[in-house]
C-alpha cells in the first residue's frame, strides 16, 4: 500500500542519515503489510463499504489538552463500573523510538509515519472486540494537522479511510490556551515542534480547533470542555456515551 511504500522508499534512499534501528523499522513495515494482505484476503481483496466499528473511545485534541491523563482515568472508571477496557495510543509503542527521527523529516514523510501508526492500531482494534479500547489519538489527529498546515483557502472534503477501523465514539477535548500551556510546561518530556507551533501561532490553533469540530467525518463526535478536574471530565464522558 502507498503509505508503506512511501516509508520503504524513504529509508532505502536515505540510509546515509543513520536512521536508528532501521532493521527493526523495516520488519515493522513487513509485518504490517503481511497483516493487511491477510485481512484483504479474508475480505476477498475488497475493502468493505460498511466499515468495522470498534468498541472504542478515541480521545482527540490539541497537544497538552490532557488526553493521556484522561485516558488513564477513563480506564480506571470503566474498571470500577465492571467494564473491561484497555489503553492504546498512536503512535503505538513499537513506533515511539522512531518518532524523533520522523518528526524532523518533510511533512509528507512525517504524515506517512503517523499513518503507519494508525494502520497498526486499526489492526489491533479488531483483536479484542469485546473490550472497550480507550485510544489516545488516532487518524483524526493526523488529518487535522495535515489540513491545518495546508492552504486555508483549499476546500475541505474528507472521508474516513476505508483501510482503517472506525471508533464508536470520538471525544474532542478543548482547553483554555493558558491552561494548555501550563500543562505542557509541567511535563517532563521535551516540547515537540508542533507544540511550539501551537503556542506561537494563534491562527493555526483556531484552524485546528475548527477542523476538529466541523470536518472530522463522524456522526459520534462530542466536544468536551477539558478544563474541569480529570475525574469529573471522565465521568461526564462516560455518562454522555451511555445515553
CA-to-CA dists, residue 18 to 28, 100, 243, angstroms: 18, 13, 52
Q: In the chain, which residues have pLDDT < 50?
A: 49
C-alpha 210/C-alpha 239 separation (Å) is 25
The total domain count for the chain is: 1
- pLDDT at position 139 is 97
| pTM score over 0.75 | yes
- pLDDT at position 49 is 47
Q: Express the helix, strand and coil content of the chain in percent, nearest 5 each.
A: 55, 15, 30
DSSP designation for 191: P
Residue 217 has phi, psi (to 5 degrees) of: -75, 90
Q: What is the 3-state secondary structure (H, E, C) of the chain?
A: CHHHHHHHHHHHHCHHHCCCCHHHHHHHHHHHHHHHHHHHHHCCCCCCCCCCEEEEEEEEECCCCCHHHHHHHHHHHHHHCCCCEEEEECCCHHHHHHHHHHHCCCHHHHHHHHHHHHHHHHHHHCCCCCCEEEEECCHHHHHHHHHHCCCCCCCCCCCCCCCCCEEEEEEEEECCHHHHHHHHHHCCCCCCHHHHHHHHCHHHHHHHHHHHHHHCCCCCEEEEECCCCHHHHHHHHHHHHCC
- pLDDT at position 125 is 92
C-alpha 227/C-alpha 70 separation (Å) is 12
Give counts: helices (H), strands (E), the chain: 10, 5
Give the domain CATH number at 127.
3.40.50.300
DSSP designation for 16: G
Domain that holds residue 144: 2-241
Model pLDDT for residues 52-103, shown as the tens digit of each residue: 889 999 999 998 899 999 999 999 999 999 999 999 999 999 999 999 899 8
- pLDDT at position 51 is 65
C-alpha 170/C-alpha 60 separation (Å) is 7
- pLDDT at position 41 is 76
Amino acid at each position: 500500500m502507498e503509505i508503506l511504500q512511501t516509508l520503504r522508499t524513504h529509508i532505502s534512499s536515505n540510509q546515509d542519515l543513520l536512521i536508528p534501528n532501521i532493521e527493526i523499522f523495516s520488519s515493522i513495515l513487513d509485518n504490517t503489510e503481511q497483516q493487511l494482505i491477510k485481512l484483504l484476503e479474508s475480505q476477498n481483496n475488497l475493502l468493505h463499504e460498511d466499515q468495522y466499528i470498534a468498541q472504542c473511545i478515541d480521545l482527540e485534541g490539541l497537544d497538552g489538552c490532557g488526553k493521556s491523563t484522561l485516558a488513564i482515568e477513563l480506564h480506571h472508571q470503566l474498571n470500577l463500573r465492571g467494564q473491561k477496557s484497555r489503553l492504546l495510543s498512536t503512535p503505538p509503542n513499537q513506533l515511539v523510538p522512531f518518532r524523533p527521527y520522523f518528526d524532523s523529516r518533510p511533512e509528507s514523510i512525517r504524515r506517512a509515519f503517523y499513518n503507519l501508526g494508525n494502520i497498526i492500531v486499526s489492526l489491533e482494534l479488531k483483536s479484542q472486540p469485546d473490550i472497550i479500547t480507550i485510544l489516545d489519538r488516532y487518524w483524526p489527529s493526523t488529518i487535522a494537522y495535515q489540513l491545518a498546515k495546508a492552504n486555508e483557502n483549499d476546500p475541505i472534503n474528507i472521508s474516513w479511510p476505508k483501510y482503517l477501523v472506525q471508533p464508536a465514539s470520538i471525544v474532542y477535548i478543548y482547553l483554555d490556551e493558558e491552561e494548555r500551556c501550563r500543562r505542557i510546561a509541567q511535563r517532563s518530556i521535551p516540547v515537540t515542534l508542533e507544540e511550539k507551533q501551537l503556542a506561537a501561532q494563534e491562527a493555526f490553533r483556531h484552524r485546528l480547533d475548527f477542523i476538529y469540530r466541523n470536518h472530522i467525518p463522524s456522526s459520534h463526535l462530542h466536544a468536551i470542555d477539558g478544563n474541569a478536574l480529570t475525574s469529573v471530565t471522565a465521568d461526564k464522558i462516560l455518562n454522555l456515551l451511555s445515553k
